Amino acid sequence: MKIVHTIKDLQAELTALRAQGETVGLVPTMGALHAGHASLVKRSVSENGVTVVSVFVNPTQFNDKNDLVKYPRTLDADCKLLEACGATYAFAPSVEEMYPEPDTRQFSYAPLDTVMEGAFRPGHFNGVCQIVSKLFEAVKPHRAYFGEKDFQQLAIIREMVRQMQFDLEIVGCPIVREEDGLALSSRNARLSAEERENALKISQTLFKSRTFAATHTVSETLKFVEDAIAAVPGLRLEYFEIVDGNTLQKVDNWNQTSYVVGCITVFCGDVRLIDNIKYKES
């Protein structure tokens, strides 16, 4: 595996490989890689001749500057994991490389980006679209891989690709969890032992809610989850919404659509964790 730091060098490498008929897969990451990221990389390696993994903590998607400062940066460990997964290139640019001048572009994909994360983290998805579009333009991948844990992000990126007419396939990959069910996240490393135990209640509650939902209404299921999280010391629910998996708009009853997803964000101490669960999928 080769580590590349500039767009110019990366494009020179990829141009030569494309000329040999290789397909290119891209896995955008912010580093602090774990088994969830590894599953994306392995999927790309299995489906493409070349896999590029970007490792870049993107400042424009952090509406909380303290969160940006605290975000873990572990490039050496990340590169070891990527090499073990079979990645071809680790693309680790500087902020100056990706943003030689301020990016003033505004992306709007209402109503996808105005609910849930969009409502609680103003500007977050604009920053995501800025960096992901820059990566698509730099790498020109045939396929790009994103985890379904960031369910809303995946929906918005699909819409961005459609509207901007990027010639690539977006591949959504299932959530990877710890053996006990906790969704893998780079932020998990910031949890104390007690907080880690508390955080487990998030996925446990979602799994229980799926069984509960089989015999209860949407509103009853919402209350079930809200009450279960409220009962755990150290957890604070920011939101839990049950939505149409395509439009991300709230549903009132289970028969409203064939694709229903519950999306949750919970503060565990000062660590913000997200997760989701599918109630119906056609």
* 155 burial via Cβ count (<10 Å: 0-12, 13-18, 19+): buried
Amino acid identity, residue 36? G
Give the number of other CB atoms < 10 A from CB of residue 145.
26
Give the number of other CB atoms < 10 A from CB of residue 135.
23
Indicate which residue of 5, 34, 37, 142 is catalytic: 37
Six token digits for residue 152: 């809303």
CA distances for 173 relative to 62, 119, 123, angstroms: 24, 25, 25
Known catalytic membership, residue 5? no
CB contact at 8 A, 171 and 145? yes
Phi, psi of 106 (to 5 degrees): -115, 125
CA distance 259 to 245: 5
3-state helix, strand, coil split of the chain in percent (to 5) is: 45, 20, 35
Give the number of other CB atoms < 10 A from CB of residue 109.
19
Give the number of other CB atoms < 10 A from CB of residue 110.
8
The catalytic residue positions are: 37
